[in-house]
Structure 1
Amino acid sequence: MTASTANSARPGLSIVVPLYDEAGGVADLVARVGDFVAAESPRRELEVILVDDGSRDGTWDALGAAIPAGDPRWRRLRHDQNRGLTAALRTGTDAARLPFVAWLDADLSYEPAILAPLVAALDEGADLATASCHMRGGRIAGVPWIRGWLSRQASRLYRLATGRRVATFTCMVRAQRRELLLATWPERQGFLGVTEQLLRALGRGAVVVEVPATLHARRSGRSKLRVARAIRAHLGLIAAARRGL
C-alpha cells in the first residue's frame, strides 16, 4: 500500500480549534496537536483549522509563527472582531473539508491525544463521541472547584430533563460526522451552543459515545467562563430541553 492510499483508508478528520487571546499558549498547542497529527496521519487524511476569534493579544501572529510552514494541512482563519465561541466553531466547521470534524479547546484543558479514542469511536460506528470527565474513568485535575461543580450540576440537571444517560453534557471536545454537526447546529451562542448541539444530536437519535478523559486546568491565559452568566444560561437551556428544545 502506498502512503497516499494508506492515509485515506479511514474517513478523514478536520480538527477545529477556536482561539481568543491565547497567544501565550499557541506554541504548546500547535506542538501537541502536531504530535497527534503525526501519529494519526498514517491512518487517515487530516487538517487543522485554527480560528482566531478577534484576539487582541497577538494570537494571529503567534499562530503564523507556530504552524508548520508550507504544510497545507494547517490553516488559520480570522474574525475581525470577537464573535463568540459558537461563531468561531461555525467558521471552522464551514471550512472543514473532511467527513469527520473534531472540536478542541485551545487552552489544552483536554490533551489533544484524546482525539484518538474519539475518532476511533466514529470508526466503530458512533455518530458523535465526546470527551467526558464525569463518567467512570474520567477525572478533574487542578481545575477551580466552581468550574467542576458547575459542570457536574449542569450535567445532572440535563440528565433529569432529558432522561439521557450522558455523564457530561458540557464538554466542547468532541468528534462527529460532519453531516450530523451541520444538521444539529445550535441556535444559542457561546459555551451554551456546545451543549445545545449535543442535545440536538441526541434528539435526532444519533449514536453518542462518551470517552473518559481528564479535564486539566488551563496551561496559560485566562478562562472566558463567567460563572453567574453560565448558570443563568444553562438553567434556560435545561428548561428548553425539558420541552424538547
Structure 2
Amino acid sequence: MATKKTIMTKDKIVSMYMNYVLEHSEKPKSVYHFTKINDFTETEFYAFFGTIESIEKEIFKMFVEKTIDLLNKNKEYEMYDMKSKMLSFYFTFFEILTANRSYVVLVLQEHNNQLKKLMQLSGLRNSFKNFLTEIISDDFRTQQEKLQNFQEKTFQETSWIQLLLTLKFWLDDSSPAFEKTDIYIEKSVKVTFELMNIAPIDSLIDFGKFIFKEKIYNK
C-alpha cells in the first residue's frame, strides 16, 4: 500500500525553512535545492511563495500575526487602553522572538546592509502598522486633535522606529531572561505616550538615564 503523501501547507514550509537555516547557518541556495532536500515539489512551494526571500519576510509577519492572535484570546485585552495594548503587544511579541531567538539573530545579523535588513522586515512593518491602526481609539484621536494636529501616519512611523530600536536592544541584550529588554519596553512605551500627551520630561529623563547606563557603563 502506497504511503499517503503529506499535504504541504504554508506553515510546514516555513518550519522546514527555519530548520534548514538553523542547521546550515545559511539560507537555501535555490528553491530547487530547498524542495529537493525536504522531499516536496517546486510546484508546491510556488503555491505559497514566489521566492526564497519571500519566506523570510513571511516569517516575521507571522510573528506579528501570532502575537495579535494570542492577545485577542485574552478576554480582558479588548478593555485595555491604547498604552496597555501596546505594552501587551511588545511583551508578547518579544516572547515569541525569544522562543525563536537563534533564527532571528542568525538572519538579522547576516545582513550588514541596513536596507536589505529592512526589506526583510517589510512584512512585519505592514502587519505592525495595521495593528497600530486598530488600537487607536476614538477618544484618543479626539484628545490628540485638541492638543495638536494628530497624524495617524506619523504615529505609525514613530512607533515603527521605536519597534526597530527595541529589536536592536533585544539583539544586544545579554541579561538573564532578557530582563533589561523588559525595562526598555516599559520606559520607551511610557515615553511615547507621554510625548503625545505633551507631558514627557520626567519619563524622557528616566529613559535617557537607562540608555546611557546600558550603552556607556556596560560596554
Q: Report the TM-score when normalising by structure 1.
A: 0.30
Higher relative contact order (CA 8 A, sep 6+): 1
Report the structure number with the largest CA radius of gyration: 2
Q: Report the TM-score when normalising by structure 2.
A: 0.32
Structure number having the greater strand percentage: 1
Structure number having the greater helix percentage: 2
